Amino acid sequence: MQDEGLGSKGLVRRQILVTTGALAAGAALAHFGGFLNSAEATGGSTEKWPWPYEKLDPAKTAEIAYNEWYRVFCGAAVINSVFSQLREKVGEPYKSFPSDAFVFLEGGQVGWGTVCGSPAGANIVANLIIGPRIAGAHEGHQIAVDMMQWYSETALPVYSPKEPKQATKIITTTSDSPLCHLSVGKWMKASGYALASPERKDRCARVAASSAYQVVSMLNDWKDGKYVAKSDFSCGKEFGITGQYNCNDCHGDKVPTAPQLPVVAATPAKS
């Protein structure tokens, strides 16, 4: 992969991001975190991974998420759309998981506009089922990476509910970010609808439904042993800081250069 440098202008990530290929997961993770400890789980039986998973119908899951949004908003709606079905099909540990506590993911966490609750909820689902990377499997982490990129690059909402609560046509917008502030803001700007409008709420319910569809599709592939990582993006690896792919969208042409590790002189090999 080309090293574009953090200070260069016109950082174009798209052509790199959309390439489908195997992830050099170890390298990317090692660069960011610097180490991979072995798991020393402190919880009970729920910290044995993976959790038993049965494939779900993505469309049915999306429909549940759409309706759940009107009860528990984006993050908990995505979690419940998957876990309510697995409670029936599998039972524990899904029955013991308090999904409704995640209502606070609404509005990018209690309205602060950070990560949209829909990908945040999907990331929770994937990592609860597959487990954290420190437990030995990297697919939960990778599905979350794919979720962040898919959410950022897709014209949302994708999913149209069978029984929409709003008859108005809901337009689609691409957020180029997993942040609620940008996702909701760009949609409001394009549609002209206010935050408190029924149309904005229905748009977000459909985004939750779209995200639930997406994460279940990836989990089904994982269950079948055919999940392939789509994103090889690591902001830490490429730019030396956590973040997104589109530096210029916020920084303009003045993208700061992140501090680098001191270069350690190589020990000369014996001749």
> Using CB under 8 A, which residues numbered 54 to 73 contact its own copies?
70-73
268 is a contact residue toward its own copies (CB under 8 A): no
Site residues (CB under 8 A) for its own copies, limited to 185-204: 185, 188-189, 191-197, 201
Q: How far is the CB of 74 from its own copies (least distance, A)?
A: 11
40 is a contact residue toward its own copies (CB under 8 A): yes
157 is a contact residue toward its own copies (CB under 8 A): no
216 is a contact residue toward its own copies (CB under 8 A): no
Part in contact with its own copies (CB under 8 A); list of ranges 9-17, 158-166, 214-222, 258-266: 258-266
110 is a contact residue toward its own copies (CB under 8 A): yes
Of 21 and 33, which has the nearer Cβ to its own copies?
Answer: 33
253 is a contact residue toward its own copies (CB under 8 A): no
- Contacting residue, 12, 18, 27, 101, with its own copies by CB under 8 A: 101
DSSP annotation string for the chain: -----TT-SS---HHHHT------HHHHHHHHHS--PPP---S-GGGSSSPP-----HHHHHHHHHHHHHHHHHHHHHHHHHHHHHHHHT-TTTTT--GGGGGGGTTTTTTS-SB-HHHHHHHHHHHHHH--GGGT--HHHHHHHHHHHHHHHS-B-----SS-S--S----B--SSSBHHHHHHHHHHHH---TTSHHHHHHHHHHHHHHHHHHHHHHHHHHTT---------HHHHHSSS--S-HHHHHTT-PPPPP-PPPPPPPPPP-
- Contacting residue, 259, 265, 267, 268, with its own copies by CB under 8 A: 259
84 is a contact residue toward its own copies (CB under 8 A): yes
Site residues (CB under 8 A) for its own copies, limited to 11-30: none
Of 105 and 271, which has the nearer Cβ to its own copies?
Answer: 105
Of 21 and 256, which has the nearer Cβ to its own copies?
Answer: 256
